[in-house]
């Protein structure tokens, strides 16, 4: 591993740890794999390894600038596609606009899906589970299923 690769590894690790320290596990449920409200060093290591593997496009165990740029471009394209998918799902009549009624129906559907115990409320565990299940977070994670607008 050359010096540039070591530096990149340190930067990626520091950025992830900074995000956790700055906002806490509650804001980053994808790091909190067991849903206990804290992020262990093991959970962080698992997340870092998964992140590295996704970026290491040619699977040679090293990251190049090109791989990182390609990974970022792919993520941006996925996010844009998911935004369109969520909009299209909310646009029930297909007129290219989401009315207040369509928006309300879309968010009601999302809320009911997240309320796994049916009590009419979304508690912390249900929120974390929904975010993990759908692969998303408020910092750019993708959503595998439509979640409204």
Domain boundaries, the chain: 1-63, 71-149
- Residue 12, pLDDT score: 57
Give 44-98 pLDDT, tens digit per residue.
888 889 889 999 999 999 999 999 999 999 989 988 887 888 888 888 899 999 8
Give 4-29 pLDDT, tens digit per residue.
555 655 555 555 554 444 444 555 66
Contact 68, 79 (CB under 8 A): no
Backbone torsion region of residue 37, taken as left when φ is above 0, otherwise alpha when ψ lies between -120 and 50, otherwise beta: left
Nearest to 141 by CA among 29, 7, 14: 29
Per-residue pLDDT at 39 exceeds 70: yes
Nearest to 38 by CA among 24, 49, 51, 50: 24
Q: Considering the entire predicted model, what is its pTM?
A: 0.45
């Amino acid at each position: 591993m050359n010096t540039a690769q070591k530096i990149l590894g340190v930067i990626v690790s520091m950025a992830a740890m900074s995000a956790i320290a700055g906002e806490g596990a509650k804001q980053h449920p994808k790091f909190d794999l067991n849903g206990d409200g804290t992020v262990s060093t093991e959970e962080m290591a698992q997340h870092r390894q998964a992140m590295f593997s996704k970026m290491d496009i040619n699977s040679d165990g090293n990251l190049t600038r090109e791989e990182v740029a390609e990974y970022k471009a792919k993520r941006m394209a996925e996010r844009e596609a998911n935004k369109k998918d969520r909009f299209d799902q909310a646009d029930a009549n297909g007129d290219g606009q989401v009315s207040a009624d369509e928006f309300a129906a879309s968010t009601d559907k999302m809320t009911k899906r997240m309320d796994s115990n049916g009590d009419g409320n979304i508690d912390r565990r249900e929120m974390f589970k929904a975010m993990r299940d759908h692969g998303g977070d408020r910092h750019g994670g993708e959503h595998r299923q439509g979640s409204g607008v």
